[in-house]
Amino acid sequence: MKNNKKIIYYQDEVNDEFSEVKIEPRIIDENYKYIHKNPFWNMGSFIIQNIILVPIRILYAKIKFKITYIGKEKLKKYKKSGYFVYVNHTQPFGDTLIPSIPIYPKRNFFIVNPENVSMKILGNFVQMMGAIPIPSNLDAMKNFKKAIEKTIRDNHAITIYPEAHIWPYYTKIRPFKNTSFTYPVELDVPAFCMTNTYQRQKNNKVKIVSYIDGPFFADKTLPKLSQKKDLRDKIYNQMVIQSQNSNIEVIKYCPKT
């Protein structure tokens, strides 16, 4: 890499967002259709996710990142059950493709911010790709939870980015809350983590090595709130350990002084 690497200054490690794409988010209210009963819509969604996007994912990940997955065999034991996958959020476009490759042929859905489904026409396409947007109000939360439960009960995977905000090429794990760990606790299903690391190739080029760990389960001997924290801590700590395999820094992140 060149010595004059890009530097980004951050103020809030939890809430700062560094995606260059700026979209006005739509309101995801009780009228948003999370679950589609139209068979043609659902067939189209399957074709997009598990046929059209498959070669695009593989070619993009291999050509751009020379990606390697370590531990993907851990997912195969759960090919007939639904589960959650927690991933660090470091690629604006790649993060919509990278996790689905080792999960295939299981369908993979994503919990996303409303911005991802806010573009006219394209918003529906993004939903067909597997996007499940976070509700904007309490009235929509009921439908959101139903969609999460149905997706898992249909034996699909759901990918979650607990850091919530994109920090391109960041090599550490940012703090994240317990909130998104409610789902595997309440639905009593396994959780995995996928830690994308940036590693040096010849000529100082960069490749992604993605480490898959799990399954992690909620400790049912604990109260519900403690189960969420315990599961969060297990996954966070494992992601921190794996992130230490990064050995090249494309973008330097510095706190504002």
Report the predicted TM-score, pTM, of the whole model to 2 decimal places: 0.94
- Whether 48 and 129 have beta carbons less than 8 Å apart is answered as yes
CA end-to-end distance (rounded Å), the chain: 27
Tens digits of pLDDT across the chain (257 residues): 445 689 999 999 999 999 877 777 788 999 999 999 999 999 999 999 999 999 999 999 999 999 999 999 999 999 999 999 999 999 988 998 999 999 999 999 999 998 888 887 788 899 999 999 999 999 899 999 999 999 999 999 999 999 999 999 999 999 999 999 999 999 999 999 999 999 999 887 899 999 999 999 999 999 989 999 999 999 999 999 999 999 999 999 999 98
β-pairing, 83-87 vs 191-200, is parallel
CA dist., res. 19 & res. 91, Å (int) = 9
